[in-house]
A and B are shown apart, each in its own frame.
Chain A
Amino acid sequence: MATAVRIPTQLRPLAGGASELTVEGETVGDVLKALDAAHPGFADRLFDENGALRRFVNVFLGEEDVRFLDGLNTPVAGQSLSIVPAVAGG
Chain B
Amino acid sequence: MTFVEALRCRECGKTYPVAALHVCDHCFGPLEVTYDYDAIRANVTRQTIADGPQTIWRYAALLPAEAPGAIDLGAGCTPLVRADRLASELGLGELWLKNDTVNPTGSFKDRVVSVALAKARELGFKVAACPSTGNLANSVAAHAARAGMRSVVFVPSDLEPAKIAMTAVFGCTLIAVDGTYDDVNRLCAELTDDHEDWAFVNVNVRTYYAEGSKTLAFETAEQLGWQAPDHVVAPIASGSQLTKIAKGFRELAEVGLIDASEIRISGAQADGCSPVATAFADGSDAIRPVRPNTIAKSLAIGNPADGWYALDEVRKSGGAIGSVSDDEIRDGISLLARTEGIFAETAGGVTVATLAKLAAQGVVRRDERVVAMITGHGLKTLDAITDRVGPTVTIPPTRAAFEAAYSQED
Contacts and interface: CB of A to CB of B under 8 A. Distances in A.
Contact of A56 (B27, B237, B288): B27
Nearest to A86: B305
Contacts of B131: 88-89
Interface in B279-306: 288-289, 291, 301, 303-306
Given A68-B289, A88-B131, A45 B305 contact: no
B22 A87 contact: yes
A58 B22 contact: no
B253 interface: no
A56 B30 contact: yes
Contact of A87 (B25, B28, B183, B188): B28
B30 A89 contact: no
Given A19-B193, A65-B303, A89-B301, A58 B11 contact: no
- Summarize A's interface: helix, strand, loop or mixed: mixed
A6 B189 CA distance: 12
B202 interface: yes
Contacts of B183: 63
A56 B29 contact: yes
Interface in B307-366: 308
Q: Which of B11, B23, B203, B206 is packed against the most chain A CB atoms within 10 Å?
A: B23
26 contacts: A8-B190, A9-B193, A45-B26, A45-B27, A54-B28, A56-B11, A56-B29, A56-B30, A63-B179, A65-B182, A65-B186, A65-B289, A65-B303, A68-B291, A85-B22, A86-B305, A87-B29, A88-B22, A88-B131, A88-B186, A88-B188, A89-B182, A89-B202, A89-B238, A89-B304, A90-B239
Q: Considering the complex of A and B, which 4 residue pairs feature the smallest CB-CB distances, nearest first?
A: A90-B238, A56-B28, A89-B185, A88-B203
Given A54-B28, A56-B27, A56-B29, 7 more contacts: A57-B28, A65-B186, A65-B303, A82-B186, A85-B189, A87-B305, A90-B241
